[in-house]
Amino acid sequence: MIKSISGGVCAPKGFRAGGVHCGIRKNKIKKDLALIVADVRCATACVYTTNLVKGAPILVTKKNVADGYAQAVIVNSGNANTCNANGVEIAEQMCALVERHTGIAAGDVVVASTGVIGQPLSIEPIAGGMQELVCSLGDNSSAAAEAIMTTDTVKKEIAFSFDLDGATCKIGAICKGVGMICPNMATMLMFITTDAAVSPAMLQKAVSADVKDSLNMLSVDRDTSTNDTLCIMASGLAGNREIVSAGADYKKFCAALHEVTSAMCRMLAADGEGATKLVECRVVGAKSKKAARLAAKSVINSNLVKAAMFGSDANWGRVLCALGYAGADLDVNRIDVRFSSPAGEVSVCENGSGITFSEEEAKKVLSEKEIVIGVDLKEGNFSATAWGCDLTYDYVKINGDYRT
């Protein structure tokens, strides 16, 4: 059984975290530098942005985790360290600072940055804040979660416990990202820790498979970030037999991992830039998994659907339109659509055609903060869920002066 617990990335055995304001951000009350350290070298796996323009930290992290192991994560916010001539040098210096202050080898450090693209990042504030950062290490997952925020309005952390091979294991995470989020690695930054014993190869297999039905099904604005990084570290300190192949224990671990990533997807979508509503599209009855995913993502990506959700307008034709251009194998003459929320449920389309429904009741359903768009393709047994948000005036305001 998977149980919700507290502690974030510090819940699993062998992990400490901290976060401070070092001076990258002008606002002194906003933390901008985070550190996660493990007591031992951990099996480590990562997934990155598919954008051809990649932040320098990704290049350094790929090199450092090439052997499948890492022991620390350092992250700054306020500056993406992307498209900078000396970006790789700065990222490597950040890793060297971790070694100098903790004794953890620079080659065992995952480094990440988030913030404005194309602005030089000085190593000086980071170096100046390292001593305070190391002193802050402890059961401080929330401080680390705060330090990686950019336009996020709330901290995002979570943790669960689950059983493997008679041992109680824990998995925790922090993440950030409420803009520049689009399918095909869609998280911005997420750091997951676990004390389960999993080999690097199986950890990579689990993460690479999971993102197809979690992070790649998340979209805020159809813009893929340059710095997206998901990193998971497994200390193995829970005491279970190491997972080295697919089997019952591997499936249990994957289930716990998906509990984390899917929960985070909901948090990220609900906090989308300027968003007032979490919008979830659940597609059932598809001929294939691919068709289900394409259909769900197309609805969530539609700016017209997103705008309709903002206005609590049951404009179901926009849903059909998005399904029609999704590129999925489906028969538009068989589609049913319904809207639901804590206020109730209303069917608006059957067999690809409109049906009579109460606009007043639909308005009530769509005025809630969490809305589900249910789509039944009625052609097969495959399903998929995608997460997104409404499109509001504030999204334009936030991004109109993001840099200045």
Catalytic positions, written as ranges: 187
Closest alpha carbon to 142 in 4, 261, 7:
7
Give the CA-trace dihedral at 215, 218, 223, 227, to 10 degrees. Answer: -20
Closest alpha carbon to 298 in 219, 392, 381:
219
In angstroms, how far is CA 10 from the centroid of its own chain? 18
User: Which residues have CB under 8 Å from 348's CB, separation 6+?
Assistant: 314, 316, 337, 338, 339, 354, 355, 357, 362
CB distance 58 to 48 below 8 Å: yes
User: Which residues have CB under 8 Å from 85's CB, separation 6+?
Assistant: none
Helices (H), strands (E): how many in the chain?
11, 15
Rg (CA), the chain: 22
